[in-house]
Amino acid sequence: MEIEAAVRTLIKAAGDNPAREGLVDTPARVARAYDEWFSGYAIDPTALLSRTFAEAESYRETVLLCDIPLVSTCEHHMAPIIGVAHVGYRPRDRVVGISKLSRLVDAFSRRLQLQERLTQQIGMTLWEVLAPRGVAVVIDATHGCMATRGVNQRGVTMRTECWLGDFREDRDLRRDFLTSVRDARAGEH
């Protein structure tokens, strides 16, 4: 009800009539959308990584999940951030199910965000919960606040990176990670 009242106020402040036929149901639709867009606040990201598997205990190379779809909301203008995340880690003793990497990205994305903080939150959670030898997170995204207002520049992509452990210390490992991301993306075209 609080969201719906606020949306009616915004519609009126924008210069339209919230009781107009095309807008009468908009406040309820926006409230439902907010439940979905900001559902990440109800998720404990560390709990997503609580179940691990020891079957791959001898695996020491990078586990990489590319092109995880990402939808977030810029906290400065409440405009969409849309892109992909590439998440990798070098296990120490245990691995996590790959769907958990995607769920982790989604949990942090579905909050009011800055892309820089989002990248760090994903990386630090993997680092702290899994205690791997290294973590790499790269996010490529477009920002609605830049594309639809202000400078009005469409097609601009922002990249943010988080390198921890082995990835921070080893330039060649970072290069291999970025090459693998590039190659995976090229393979889909």
Catalytic residues: 74-77, 115, 143, 145
Looking at residue 185, its amino acid is R
User: Cα separation of 118 and 139, whole Å?
Assistant: 9
For the chain, state the CA radius of gyration: 20
User: Cα separation of 163 and 150, whole Å?
Assistant: 32
Q: What one-character DSSP code corresponds to residue 39?
A: G
14 vs 3, 32, 146, CA distance in Å?
A: 16, 21, 21
Structure tokens of 110? 């579905």
Residue 115 burial by Cβ neighbours in a 10 Å radius (0-12, 13-18, 19+): buried
Chain position carrying tokens 């807008």: 23
